[in-house]
Structure 1
Amino acid sequence: MTTTNYQTIEFTNDGRIAYLKLNRPERLNALSDQLESEIRTALMEFDLDDRLWVLIIHGEGKAFCAGLDVKEHSSFSFGSDDQTRSEKALAALRAGHLGGAQHLRGTGGEGWLGRTANYKPVIAAVHGYALGGGAHLAAECDLIVAAEDARFAIAETMTGMSGSRTWAKIKTFMPSKVASEMLITGRRMEAAELYRLGLVNRLVPEGQHLKAAEELAREVLQAPPLATRDAVRVTRKQWVPLATELDEQMQLSRLDLTNDFREANRAFAEKRTPNFQAN
């Protein structure tokens, strides 16, 4: 077993199986800027290491990933008044940070896994919450194992942001009106329902998700690796064009500059029901 040192994740391997563990359990593994950056570095490390053939992504503690961390992510670092907020948004744009409209910064529709050198298979082992950015990350993985307690949601909708890129990836593998409902309402869906509809490959008892993902990884390793990677390339190419097109539309809408976006996140911080005005 080898280990690479990170602060918000653990990246290890056991033979040809690599493990990327989100390790901010005190925040339900919510995405901070640092966590996003370290995930990307580990994904590149996995992609370029010839010894590693399959990756399992999972979360420490009570959840896989509860979405963006509104306290520590730059998407939510705006000031309280309109002028300060606009100035910070402009500064973020100049720095290449697109705030709420592009919380996976600089990636476009390719997201976490759409661009890679080797297209090695990645398995998400999900338990607890997979919300917003967590659902986005899981949806991009080539295979999903979920515990019965897992809940998925395109949570961006409820924060006043667009979850269209997550929707594009979910609908690729679960083409139904349920995917549209997830996008339109932000509703949390149980893993059992998503298993029935085909988004989840394995549904297992609570606490068994990592073991089941390892069993699936060993099954993947029995296939010729180059053929496996070609299959991964083909399946990922299904969602990249649509997600890229939707990403371009998101940059025009700039929902992160609306009053409803600010109200949604103020209400969350103040633990009250938001009062949206459609502006």
Structure 2
Amino acid sequence: MSPIKTYVEDAILHVTLDRPKANAIDLATSKIMGETFAAFRDDPSLRVAIITGAGDKFFCPGWDLKAAADGDAVDGDYGVGGFGGLQELRDLNKPVIAAVNGICCGGGLEWALSADIILAADHASFALPEIRSGTVADAASIKVPKRIPYHIAMELLLTGRWFDVQEAKSWGLVNHSYPAEDLMAKAWDMARLLASGPPLVYAAIKEIVRDAEDSKFQDSMNRITQRQLASVDILYASEDQLEGAKAFAEKRDPIWKGK
């Protein structure tokens, strides 16, 4: 039985990590996740993905320590996209929404941070407890200090303490929280909103954000204006770019074709 359950509706890929008892990720699961998200990236009929965990207790606790004790190497082959299939997946220029339905810690939090928008159930809880297992939260050590105040990030990394969804929201790690029974409906509302938007613009936004992460402002602006970013070059020469202007002039909703 596959640890990943998927279905497609309205150009939206819904991905559920379903690996009892806690939705932990081992090497084999990570490889399947990578294949799933690479296929999503490469399928022009799919516009948005939702990721979540099975059940109502665990989103994902991250690395499967039992599998590690049985021989899974922490520096082993996680497959395309790295751990969880998302955080190192190249050229993923489509929106991803994480619907955090419970405990979200360690590599599970790193997986959620790989999404573009994070929604959470109001009972969700978070931590980066790797320090207690004698290892490092590698991706989180890169990402978290860039997203929240440095001293808060270091406290979370150095102590491994738990924090609730309200604190996660206060630091901007979570966009919105909802009662558990409303979480998936809200995730689908968000996904359908994004799926109705211009996919070429989303692709350009994501590539620009990635390019600008370690670049000076003017260097990134030069690459945009000189059409050195592939997604921007495609957008500026697209039918959708013209359609947006026409729809505005004609006072109607645009029809996005993704070309």
The answer for unaligned runs of 5 or more in structure 1 is: 1-5, 79-96, 242-279
The alpha-carbon distance between structure 1 residues 158 and 101, as it changes in their structure 2 partners (threshold 3 A), is farther
Q: Which of the numbers 213, 233, 255 marks the counterpart of 2:207? A: 233
Task: State yes or no: 1:64 paired with 2:38.
Answer: no
Counterpart-to-counterpart distance in 2, 1:196 and 1:160: 29
| 1:166 positional shift | 1.3
Counterpart-to-counterpart distance in 1, 2:29 and 2:167: 29
Q: Which range is displaced more, 219-228 or 34-43?
A: 219-228
| 1:171 positional shift | 2.9
TM norm structure 1:
0.69
Please tell me the residue identity of whatever aligns with 1:155.
P
2:24 is aligned to 30
| 1:167 positional shift | 2.8
Q: Secondary structure at the match of 2:111?
A: helix
Counterpart-to-counterpart distance in 1, 2:119 and 2:157: 22
| 1:43 positional shift | 0.4
- 1:56–1:122: 8 Å Cα contact kept in structure 2? yes
Task: State yes or no: 1:11 paired with 2:3.
Answer: no
Equivalent residues, number: 214
1:47 is aligned to 41
The alpha-carbon distance between structure 1 residues 240 and 152, as it changes in their structure 2 partners (threshold 3 A), is farther
The alpha-carbon distance between structure 1 residues 104 and 167, as it changes in their structure 2 partners (threshold 3 A), is farther
- 1:46–1:52: 8 Å Cα contact kept in structure 2? yes
2:156 is aligned to 182
Q: Secondary structure at the match of 2:126?
A: strand
Please tell me the residue identity of whatever aligns with 1:48.
D
After TM superposition, the structure 1 = structure 2 runs for residues 1-279 of structure 1, keeping only pairs within 5 Å, are: 7-24=2-19, 26-61=20-55, 62-72=57-67, 75-77=68-70, 99-101=73-75, 104=78, 112-237=86-211
Counterpart-to-counterpart distance in 1, 2:29 and 2:192: 28
2:239 is aligned to none
- 1:109–1:240: 8 Å Cα contact kept in structure 2? no
| 1:102 positional shift | 6.3
The alpha-carbon distance between structure 1 residues 182 and 103, as it changes in their structure 2 partners (threshold 3 A), is farther
- 1:16–1:54: 8 Å Cα contact kept in structure 2? yes
RMSD: 2.6
Please tell me the residue identity of whatever aligns with 2:171.
L
Q: Greater CA radius of gyration, 1 or 2?
A: 2
Counterpart-to-counterpart distance in 1, 2:209 and 2:192: 20
| 1:207 positional shift | 2.9
| 1:164 positional shift | 3.3
Higher relative contact order (CA 8 A, sep 6+): 1
Counterpart-to-counterpart distance in 1, 2:170 and 2:76: 31
Counterpart-to-counterpart distance in 1, 2:24 and 2:170: 27
